[in-house]
A and B are shown apart, each in its own frame.
Chain A
């Protein structure tokens, strides 16, 4: 006879939804992409700056170098500033349009499985079938595969509950 270890019911707020989208994208973006883009950005920035001040040329030449410098800045700041801004704006628009459908969820953690019940969806799977459990700053993401996830905001969990979830699911658990 299994007993419910943790049961949580909550309503998804706008803040929850925005945090989920940001942290999910942060997790799904490969680290090497960020590194490569930073390297490209730094290279463009350094070469552009050196040529701009070191070898003055025609107006077109200087304009091209200025574009190169700006491209460098854009590339360096893309994953930390630009992309989060775009994701946040898109998520805000989506939430404003669909918040009536987003609704509430009930999540139950058992010893061997996890259950989620929402208005239009229910899920009950053993932990071994989960792909990953990712803990972010504000959100807990339970990935059923590389792409799809269920989330719950950490604000609805007490410290003991969070500790218990970490210990039950330790094999698949990662911190963002």
Chain B
């Protein structure tokens, strides 16, 4: 069987810390423990409402006040945590990862082929087939691909791509990874 390795696009890219942190934040908000934070915040809102209802159920009861106050505080904190603190925490984690790495800041050369993409830098070469990609997130600034045995987050920056290249790559990713592709 002949593999058609048609080259879709070829370009260079280099990530700065804020670019990587933003991409990592987008990935982190979609998957794992931080996903569906809206639902979790809503659940704690409901819990807070139930605590208030139970408190006032038998006309106001002073004995229940301390326990209710503690539970309400916990609910309020968790709502704030999921809605405001989690995105900030994930972005900060992305910054820490970038700072801990000597590879992420290196210039990279990207080649997008029909069946796979390749990334080359001074110290690393990566070839990833689209069948190994579990998720593909497109933002205004980059493409974020997650896959491989190590669940690696590969960020492909768009800033050095031409408009035609962006359109070609977007169309190609949508076509090759219809289930994994998501536009943020």
Contacts and interface: CB of A to CB of B under 8 A. Distances in A.
Interface of A: 12, 17, 94, 98, 101-102, 120-125, 128-129, 131, 144-149
Given A17-B149, A120-B127, A120-B132, 4 more contacts: A120-B126, A122-B125, A123-B124, A145-B101
A149 B152 CA distance: 9
B102 A129 contact: yes
B89 to A, nearest CB: 12
Given A101-B132, A125-B124, A146 B96 contact: yes
19 contacts: A12-B149, A94-B149, A98-B132, A98-B149, A101-B132, A120-B129, A121-B148, A122-B125, A123-B125, A124-B124, A125-B103, A128-B102, A145-B97, A145-B98, A145-B100, A145-B101, A145-B102, A147-B97, A148-B101
Contacts of B103: 125, 129, 144-145
Contacts of B124: 121-125
A123 B102 CA distance: 13
Interface residues of B, number: 21
Contacts of A102: 149
B129 A144 contact: no
B104 A145 contact: yes
A149 B150 contact: yes
B128 interface: yes
Interface string B65-90: 00000000000000000000000000
Given A131-B100, A147-B97, A123 B123 contact: yes
Given A120-B129, A125-B102, A131-B101, A148 B150 contact: yes
Contacts of B98: 145
Nearest to A125: B123
A121 B101 contact: no
B80 to A, nearest CB: 18
Contacts of A120: 126-129, 132, 148
Contact of B123 (A12, A124, A146): A124
A102 B128 CA distance: 12
A101 B150 CA distance: 12
In the complex, which of the residues B104, B127, B129, B150 has the most CB atoms of chain A within 10 Å of its own CB atom? B150
Nearest to A98: B149
A157 B81 CA distance: 45
In the complex, which of the residues A94, A121, A122, A125 has the most CB atoms of chain B within 10 Å of its own CB atom? A121
B77 to A, nearest CB: 13
